[in-house]
């Protein structure tokens, strides 16, 4: 009983189905696609929208708070999937528990949690972010940000971390992929799946495990220390993040996990030549192998590079990319709810699809001026989505060639 799957996938075949052994040739005009229907669906007071992303834990969709009309993101997780992930259910419960107690403008907010026992689903309604630092890096030239922009985000990261540490929370998985951005350029630390709440009364930040991303792990974790300072783990990861944002590289790499960890523990830190000396001292301080020598967050915050004003010399890497406005995705869902949507249903064939693909390719090879036309929301959607509209599995007599 999976209702999320688009129910309107179908394929039309002219040839006889009996000939199961032959590979049939199907004209591209005979493969008909139906755009996925955007069915209006409510979870609590939230109207569901398009999918924003997918992770090992589940998917994230955009949604709209029907009382305030504010855009939100909703993380949808299935109990069944969680059970298959080591500590999956535990991690989700911990994330919910942690986020409920946190409130800071640089930490992602959790607004609502819903459980649907019948469907075995957990919904987490969170702040809506248009993009993340990793996405921006992927899109940018040389996979790095202009110094002034990196500074702007790093300062916010430090502020968020400072708050988390003041509440006794160690994030343990700081990396560009977990740093999201709202439309007004606010950085939000997200994904508290492996974060840890320290015992506030103990007055120490000792932790024993860390399951964060390998590239951003400090030597004490890579080397397998039994007990280590939690706060300094976050400082290291934040240092790796800053290194990555400003140079486009990682401080330590390795062809496999073993090599990587070996390098993190033993290889001396190599600074990218082009960075200015002030930034180099900061990176060097944050990436000291010995946790006790590593800068504390406080020292990072008051470091010259953080306090200094950086001139806007280079062009900003925009949040949206070329002309992606990250528009609200709810409109078609509302339309299908409030207006009669049947008439608007348009079908298109594989042939048409290929044509439009070819056209788009031709145009993009030409000058940039013609590109505008093909970038309309309509053509874009058609180009991106169709593969998901057809399920080859359901037709036994047909195999993809």
Binding residues for ATP: 75
Within 10 Å of residue 147's Cβ, how many Cβ atoms?
20
Binding residue for other proteins, selected from 86, 338, 368, 369, defined by CB under 8 A: 338
* CA dihedral sign, ordered 102, 246, 140, 56: negative
Binding residue for other proteins, selected from 5, 13, 20, 69, defined by CB under 8 A: 69
Binding residue for other proteins, selected from 207, 265, 328, 390, defined by CB under 8 A: 328
Under rule CB under 8 A, how many of the chain's residues touch other proteins? 30
Beta bridge partners of 179: 189
Closer to other proteins by Cβ: residue 183 or 397:
183
- Does 104 help bind other proteins (rule: CB under 8 A)? no
As measured in angstroms, the least distance from the Cβ of 74 to other proteins is 15
From 281-289, 315-323, 352-360, 361-369, span contacting other proteins (CB under 8 A): 315-323
- Does 341 help bind other proteins (rule: CB under 8 A)? no
Q: Which of 4, 18, 173, 324 is catalytic?
A: 173
d(CA 75, CA 55): 10
Reply yes or no on whether 173 is catalytic: yes
DSSP string, 210-275: --S-GGG--HHHHTT-SSEEHHHHHHHHHHHHHHHHHHSS-SS--SSHHHHHHHHHHSPP---TTS
- Does 70 help bind other proteins (rule: CB under 8 A)? yes
What does the block give as tokens for 200? 């506030």
As measured in angstroms, the least distance from the Cβ of 338 to other proteins is 5
Q: What are the respective helix, strand and coil percentages of the chain, to the nearest 5?
A: 40, 15, 45
As measured in angstroms, the least distance from the Cβ of 282 to other proteins is 23
- Does 109 help bind other proteins (rule: CB under 8 A)? no
Q: List all residues 6 or more positions away from 236 whose beta carbon is below 8 Å from its beta carbon.
A: 216, 217, 218, 286, 287, 291, 294
Positions that interact with other proteins (CB under 8 A) = 47, 64, 66-71, 128, 130, 182-185, 312, 318-320, 324-328, 330-331, 334-335, 337-339
Give the residue numbers annotated as catalytic, written as ranges: 173
């Amino acid at each position: 009983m999976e209702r999320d799957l688009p129910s309107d996938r179908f394929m039309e075949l002219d040839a006889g189905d009996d000939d199961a052994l032959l590979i049939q040739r199907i004209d591209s005009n005979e493969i008909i696609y139906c755009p996925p229907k955007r069915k209006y669906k409510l979870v609590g007071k939230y109207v569901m929208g398009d999918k924003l992303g997918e992770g090992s834990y589940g998917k994230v969709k955009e949604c709209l708070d029907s009382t305030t009309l504010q855009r939100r993101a909703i993380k949808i997780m299935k109990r069944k999937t969680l059970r298959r992930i080591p500590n999956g259910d535990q991690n989700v419960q911990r994330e919910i528990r942690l986020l409920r107690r946190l409130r800071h403008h640089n930490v992602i907010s959790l607004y609502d949690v819903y459980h649907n026992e019948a469907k075995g689903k957990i919904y987490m309604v969170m702040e809506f972010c248009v993009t993340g630092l990793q996405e921006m890096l992927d899109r940018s030239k040389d996979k790095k940000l202009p110094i002034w922009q990196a500074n702007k985000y790093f300062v916010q990261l430090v502020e968020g971390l400072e708050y988390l540490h003041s509440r006794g929370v160690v994030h343990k998985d700081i990396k560009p992929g977990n740093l999201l951005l709202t439309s007004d350029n606010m950085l939000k630390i997200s994904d508290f799946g492996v974060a840890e709440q320290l015992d506030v009364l103990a007055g120490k930040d000792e932790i024993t495990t860390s399951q964060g991303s390998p590239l951003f792990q400090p030597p004490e974790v890579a080397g397998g220390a039994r007990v280590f300072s939690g706060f300094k783990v976050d400082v290291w990861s934040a240092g790796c993040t800053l290194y990555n944002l400003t140079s486009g590289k990682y401080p330590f790499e390795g062809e496999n996990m073993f090599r990587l960890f070996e390098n993190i523990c033993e290889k001396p830190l190599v600074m990218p030549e082009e960075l200015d000396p002030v930034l180099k001292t900061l990176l060097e301080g944050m990436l000291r192998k010995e946790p006790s020598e590593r800068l504390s967050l406080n020292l990072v915050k008051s470091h010259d590079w953080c306090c200094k004003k950086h001139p806007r010399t280079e062009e900003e890497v925009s949040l949206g990319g070329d002309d992606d406005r990250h528009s609200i995705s709810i409109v078609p869902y509302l339309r299908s709810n409030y207006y009669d949507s049947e008439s608007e249903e348009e079908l298109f064939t594989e042939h048409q699809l290929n044509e439009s693909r070819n056209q788009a390719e031709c145009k993009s090879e030409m000058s940039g001026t013609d590109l505008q036309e093909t970038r309309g929301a309509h053509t874009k959607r058609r180009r991106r989505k169709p593969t998901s509209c057809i399920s080859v599995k359901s037709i036994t007599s047909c195999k993809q060639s």
